[in-house]
């Protein structure tokens, strides 16, 4: 058995050779073509999956190393090659899947692997054709360029230079002038790069529109959904879900925000003021990344036997890179290396409560990946993205009992702020989603028209946001800093869907922890063996698309919030 206990820094950086990889994939396709039964095809599929996981691991390592240091020429060159090669590799996958879809023994394979795998294959067929390879290569290069610009931000603030992640901590300062100055500095940087970033997005929109039309779609919307593997819901259902959020969550969020501003005693609140939750300051974690990781280790060790082995595997093998530094791409994510059966957590700690959120949120992703690593079919290891976000957002709530360790006397302050933030996030999430639908339905809109539309949607869902001191944000440029808009169109709504489901886990956990945790572990172990709504049904969770379910999941939270004595904060 292969030893998976290898430290991340010892993972080899292997840039795939296009000719060698193509030759190998050709031979694997030929092997499948020569199969005459499900039994022989099973062997060919096993060989294909093994090589795909090896290739995927090599490509994944390159992606992570590049995001860790976007200034490295070695990593940038490797990433550029991957950007060029990955669409070509997709061509071979499409050919392989097409053979299986048309095979005379398909029904035997469906009994063996499940019909859902073939539904995934059918979806994949709709997203690819060799004629779109040039556009896919260019799309990859543009998203990498966006990451390079955002990761390379160098912003002067009070005599020091910060990247976007590092500057973010000043926007939550208890001192209003600090919040204001940091926000103005960030706004100035966005203004200086607005045209460049806007041009990248314009090219991406036109490329994606071209790809969609080449594949026979009216526009990119339907293709964007299929790319995300959505087999069980469409844009019409998402629109109905957004309407539920507008009706049931926007008023609640506005009420919470008004209460917050009243407690802060601010007369003319600006967007940056809402980053401060309490007059006494936001809850601050008790230490740096080293101390917080040690606390997280203790937390996961106590949660369950499964989480105990998981966290020790992660820490022992150096699978967390948490500190912000120059040249590191902004944001946070979790990825998975199949060869080593190893999740990896990437983040940019900045000394705020967000650091703790990462250890819980990305920890939830990694925990699921770890539990699903034994699933033999690669397509079934991870579910579609909205299901993945259930694992992460629910783990944030399962971590609540351990917050005294992370925040000391501010633990309740954190819990209250965390739940408020989760509710208040939903209107923002649907704003990003509604904006993206409009963009791809109007691909020829100008950058200024996009900004105007974003501002219109934002003011409807987030009417509290004012930008009197930030002229670039005032014209509707907030979306420029939301990386998902550039790299993963239509992904962002997944966070809101998962959040609504995670609220149900919170309510159940407060009633019966053992039962809720058992259900959560079951969901994680299911991986992606079912689509989103199928997974919900399997573990008896409410479907957010069904009318009334958003309201049902929000209602218990109001009692939870009322249970906090905010006068102590």
pLDDT tens column, 532-555:
999 999 999 999 999 999 999 999
**Residue 160 in domain:** no
**Residue 357 in domain:** no
pLDDT tens digits for range 500-526: 999 999 999 999 999 999 999 999 999
**Residue 111 in domain:** yes
> Can you tell me the mean pLDDT for 229-246?
97
- Which percentage of the chain shows pLDDT scores above 70? 99
What pLDDT, on a 0 to 100 scale, did the predictor assign at position 2?
46
- Tell which wins on pLDDT, 150 or 330: 150
Domain count, the chain: 1
- Residue 281 CA, chain-centre distance (Å), reads 28
What pLDDT, on a 0 to 100 scale, did the predictor assign at position 321?
97
**Residue 34 in domain:** yes
CA distance 178 to 547: 43
**Residue 31 in domain:** yes
**Residue 29 in domain:** yes
Locate 63 and state its tokens: 């992606």
What pLDDT, on a 0 to 100 scale, did the predictor assign at position 87?
86
What pLDDT, on a 0 to 100 scale, did the predictor assign at position 330?
84
Pairing relationship of beta strands 342-349 and 333-337 according to DSSP bridges:
antiparallel
What pLDDT, on a 0 to 100 scale, did the predictor assign at position 3?
52
With H, G, I as helix, E, B as strand and everything else as coil, classify residue 490: coil
pLDDT tens digits for range 60-107: 999 999 999 999 999 999 999 998 898 888 899 999 999 999 999 999
Range of the domain at 48: 8-128
> Can you tell me the mean pLDDT for 123-148?
93
Cβ partners under 8 Å of residue 385, min gap 6: 228, 229, 488, 491, 494
> Can you tell me the mean pLDDT for 381-386?
95
pTM: 0.91
Does the structure show a pLDDT above 80 at 4?
A: no
Q: Are 364 and 391 in contact (CB under 8 A)?
A: yes
* DSSP 8-state class, residue 121: H
pLDDT tens digits for range 242-266: 999 999 999 999 999 999 999 999 9
With H, G, I as helix, E, B as strand and everything else as coil, classify residue 528: coil
**Residue 61 in domain:** yes
**Residue 33 in domain:** yes
What pLDDT, on a 0 to 100 scale, did the predictor assign at position 1?
33
Q: How far is CA 210 from CA 91, 203, 491, in A?
A: 18, 10, 20
pLDDT tens digits for range 179-224: 999 999 999 999 999 999 999 999 999 999 999 999 999 999 999 9
Pairing relationship of beta strands 160-162 and 155-157 according to DSSP bridges:
antiparallel
Q: Are 283 and 564 in contact (CB under 8 A)?
A: no
With H, G, I as helix, E, B as strand and everything else as coil, classify residue 162: strand
Pairing relationship of beta strands 320-323 and 342-349 according to DSSP bridges:
parallel
What pLDDT, on a 0 to 100 scale, did the predictor assign at position 350?
87
List, in sequence order, the alpha helices (H) in 71-229. Answer: 73-102, 106-113, 115-127, 133-151, 164-168, 176-214, 220-227
> What mean pLDDT, rounded, does the chain reach?
95
Q: How far is CA 372 from CA 56, 64, 92, 191, 523, in A?
A: 17, 21, 26, 44, 10
Query: DSSP characters for 138-155?
Result: HHHHHHHHHHHHHHT--E
CA distance 301 to 306: 8
């Amino acid at each position: 058995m292969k030893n998976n206990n290898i430290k991340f820094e010892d993972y080899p950086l292997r840039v795939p050779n296009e000719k060698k990889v193509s030759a190998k994939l050709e031979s694997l396709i030929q092997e499948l073509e020569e199969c005459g039964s499900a039994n022989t095809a099973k062997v060919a599929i096993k060989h294909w999956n093994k090589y795909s996981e090896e290739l995927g691991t090599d490509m994944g390592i390159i992606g992570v190393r590049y995001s860790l240091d976007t200034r490295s020429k070695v990593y940038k060159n490797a990433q550029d090659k991957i950007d060029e090669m990955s669409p070509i590799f997709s061509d071979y996958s499409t050919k392989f899947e097409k053979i299986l879809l048309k095979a005379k023994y398909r029904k035997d394979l469906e009994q063996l692997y499940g019909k859902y795998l073939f539904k995934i294959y059918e979806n994949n067929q709709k997203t690819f054709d060799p004629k779109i390879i040039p556009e896919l290569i260019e799309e990859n290069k543009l998203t990498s360029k966006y990451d390079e610009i955002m990761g390379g931000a160098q912003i002067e603030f009070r005599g020091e230079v910060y990247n976007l992640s590092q500057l973010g901590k000043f926007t939550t300062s208890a001192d209003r002038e600090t919040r204001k100055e940091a926000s103005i500095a960030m706004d100035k940087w966005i203004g200086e790069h607005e045209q460049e970033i806007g041009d990248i997005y314009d090219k991406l929109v036109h490329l994606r529109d071209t790809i969609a039309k080449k594949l026979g779609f009216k526009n990119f919307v339907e293709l964007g959904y299929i790319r995300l593997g959505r087999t069980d819901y469409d844009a019409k259902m998402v629109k109905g879900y957004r309407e539920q959020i507008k009706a049931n969550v926007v008023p609640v969020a506005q009420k919470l925000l008004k209460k917050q501003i009243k407690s802060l005693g601010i007369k003319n609140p600006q967007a940056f003021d809402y980053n401060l939750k309490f007059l006494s300051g936001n809850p601050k974690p008790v230490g740096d990344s080293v101390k917080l990781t040690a606390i997280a280790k203790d937390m996961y060790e106590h949660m369950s036997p499964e989480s105990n082995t998981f966290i020790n595997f992660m820490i022992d093998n150096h699978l967390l890179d948490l500190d912000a530094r120059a040249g590191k791409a902004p944001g946070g994510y979790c990825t998975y290396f199949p060869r080593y059966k190893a999740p990896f957590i990437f983040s940019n700690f900045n000394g705020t409560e967000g650091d703790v959120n990462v250890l819980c949120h990305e920890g939830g992703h990694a925990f699921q990946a770890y539990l699903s690593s034994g699933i033999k079919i690669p397509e079934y290891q991870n579910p579609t993205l909205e299901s993945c976000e259930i694992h992460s957002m629910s783990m944030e709530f399962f971590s609540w009992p351990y917050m005294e360790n992370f925040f000391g006397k501010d633990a309740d302050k954190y819990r209250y702020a965390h739940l408020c933030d989760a509710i208040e996030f939903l209107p923002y999430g649907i704003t990003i989603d509604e904006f993206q639908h409009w963009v791809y339905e109007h691909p020829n809109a100008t950058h200024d028209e996009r900004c105007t539309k974003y501002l219109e949607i934002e003011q409807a869902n987030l009417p509290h946001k004012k930008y009197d001191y930030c002229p670039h944000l005032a014209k509707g440029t907030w979306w420029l800093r939301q990386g998902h808009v550039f790299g993963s169109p239509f992904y962002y709504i997944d966070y809101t869907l998962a959040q609504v489901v995670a609220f149900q886990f919170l309510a159940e956990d407060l009633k019966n922890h053992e039962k809720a945790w058992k259900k959560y572990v079951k969901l994680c172990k299911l991986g992606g063996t079912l689509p989103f709504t199928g997974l919900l049904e399997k573990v008896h969770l409410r479907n957010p698309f069904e009318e009334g379910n958003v309201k049902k999941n929000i209602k218990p939270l109001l009692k939870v919030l009322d249970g906090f004595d905010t006068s102590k904060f």
